[in-house]
A and B are shown apart, each in its own frame.
Chain A
Amino acid sequence: MSEMECVMEIPEDAFNPVEPFLRMDRMPHIWCAGCGIGTTVNCFVRALLNSKADLDKVAIVSGIGCTGRVAGYAQMDSFHTTHGRAIPFATGLKLANPELQVVVYSGDGDLFAIGGNHFIHAARRNMDLKVICVNNMIYAMTGGQSAPTTPGHATTSTAPYGVFEPAFNLVSLAEAAGASYVARWTTYHVMQLARSMEEIFKKKGFCFIEVLSPCPTLYQRRNKMGDGLEAMKYYKKASKIRHGAPTSECALTKDGEIVVGKFVDRDRPDYLELLRSQMVESLGERYAEPEMACEDAEVTCSL
Chain B
Amino acid sequence: MQSLSEIRIAGFGGQGVILAAMVVGKAGAIHQGGYATMTQSFGPEARGGSSSAQVILSNEPILYPYVTQPDVLVVMSQEAYTRFTPELKHGGTLIIEQDLVRLGQVPAGVRVFGVPATRLAEELGRKVVLNIVMVGFFGAVTRLLDPDALRKAVADSVPPALQKLNLQAFDKGFEYGTLRISQSGESGDAESIIPTLESVP
Direct contact, A vs B (beta carbon within 8 Å): no
Q: Please list the residues of chain B having a beta carbon within 8 angstroms of any beta carbon in chain A.
A: none
